[in-house]
Structure 1
Amino acid sequence: MQLVFSAEDTGRVLKYNPSTKETTVLVRNIQFPNGVSLSKDGSFFVFCEGSIGRLRKYWLKGEKAGTSEVFAILPGFPDNVRTNEKGEFWVAVHCRRSMYTYLCSLYPKIRTFILKLPIPAKIQFLLHIGGRPHAVVVKYSQEGKLLQILEDSQGKVVKAISEVEEKDGKLWMGSVLMPFIAVYNLN
């Protein structure tokens, strides 16, 4: 929790070559990196920046090879991303942004102040203005165009999604916080 709320940007995306046993840093200064998925044609991959709620694209081929750019701004905090058979990207969004998280993104010193509070006060504060977890999954095209949002805004059936995978016309969802696997029929 401290890593997410601290605005620390020490995260990296690494490339490991098993033949040479060498590790290379591809991207530096990321806030809570999580989830990586290769494009269908292998020309780029997409990864999550959890703390600031966005996806980034890293080019592997072409004139932009070796560079990264913002792929999409998400409605909340991404926890993972997966490519489907069509080459579209499904993103598991742990929860939507609250006013608190929005203000923290504008003023990172708020996060630092809250981290200094005693643990019970910190939890009470986060529960009061941080909202409740609920399910959000978002689908983007290969170009970063928003295609679909599925949401259980009340968290009655599914909440706190960490993983989403499309297989055979169904969306499989899981969570690191909740004991479930949810299946949604896309047809």
Structure 2
Amino acid sequence: MYFQRRQYSMLINSGDRSGRLLRYDTCSKVLTVLQRGLAFPNGVTLNKDKSFLPVAESNSVKILKFWIQGERVTFSPQPFAQLSKFPGNIEMESKGNFRLDGYGNIVKVLQGNERNAFDFVSEVEEHDGYLSAGSPMQPFVVVIKA
């Protein structure tokens, strides 16, 4: 099955594993499927030294690691971090962490509750000592001191 973003709750409940990790070569214009069978992949980025890709897999509530450089190059996912809530994206912050250190240990948690704007955060950007957080469920952006 394939879902639109607004159908995320149906996707979560379905247990769907149709997600893929893709690589696009801009020179040759070739698209390659690196991994199939991901459970709601919802964010990918490079780590600081560009040796691996952390991938947020929402349905499994974890971050996976794909090695892309060095002796450990593999496109088989390895566990990086098990989380307590659904990851909604993943980005590197100014110190080179992802709110997780390079070993998948949680460094900092910003957590809301049912009455708090931090619920369902899907994007966080850091700029000049502040974090701007957005959510597809909220009509506003939250800005806090980092």
TM over 0.5: yes
| Aligned match for 2:20, one of 12, 25, 46 | 12
Q: Name the counterpart of 2:104.
A: 144
- Can you give the 5+ residue segments of structure 2 that lack an aligned partner in the other structure? 1-8
| Aligned match for 1:178, one of 123, 138, 146 | 138
1:33-53 per-residue CA deviation (whole Å, 9 max, x = no partner) reads: 111111111111111111111
Matched letter for residue 73 of structure 1: Q
1:156-186 per-residue CA deviation (whole Å, 9 max, x = no partner) reads: 3433211112222111100112101101102
In structure 2, do the counterparts of structure 1 residues 18 and 157 end up closer, same or farther at CA, with 3 Å as the change threshold?
closer
> Percent same amino acid at aligned positions?
36
1:26-105 mapped onto 2 (5 Å cutoff) = 26-67=34-75, 68-89=77-98
- Can you give the 5+ residue segments of structure 1 that lack an aligned partner in the other structure? 90-138
Higher relative contact order (CA 8 A, sep 6+): 1
Matched letter for residue 90 of structure 2: V
Q: Name the counterpart of 2:124.
A: 164
Q: Is the Cα–Cα contact under 8 Å of residues 26 and 66 in structure 1 kept in the other structure?
A: no
1:140-166 per-residue CA deviation (whole Å, 9 max, x = no partner) reads: 012211111121224334332111122
Q: TM-score with structure 2 length normalisation?
A: 0.87
In structure 2, do the counterparts of structure 1 residues 84 and 156 end up closer, same or farther at CA, with 3 Å as the change threshold?
closer
- Hey, which of these two has a bigger chunk of helix by percent? 1
Matched letter for residue 175 of structure 1: S
SS for the counterpart of 1:173 is strand
Matched letter for residue 21 of structure 2: V
Alpha carbon RMSD of aligned pairs, Å?
1.3
SS for the counterpart of 1:159 is coil
Q: Is the Cα–Cα contact under 8 Å of residues 88 and 120 in structure 2 kept in the other structure?
A: no
Q: Is the Cα–Cα contact under 8 Å of residues 40 and 57 in structure 2 kept in the other structure?
A: yes
SS for the counterpart of 1:78 is coil
Q: TM-score with structure 1 length normalisation?
A: 0.69
Cα distance between partner residues in 2 of 1:44 and 1:8:
25
**TM-superposed deviation, 1:77:** 0.7
Q: Is the Cα–Cα contact under 8 Å of residues 45 and 60 in structure 1 kept in the other structure?
A: yes
SS for the counterpart of 1:164 is strand
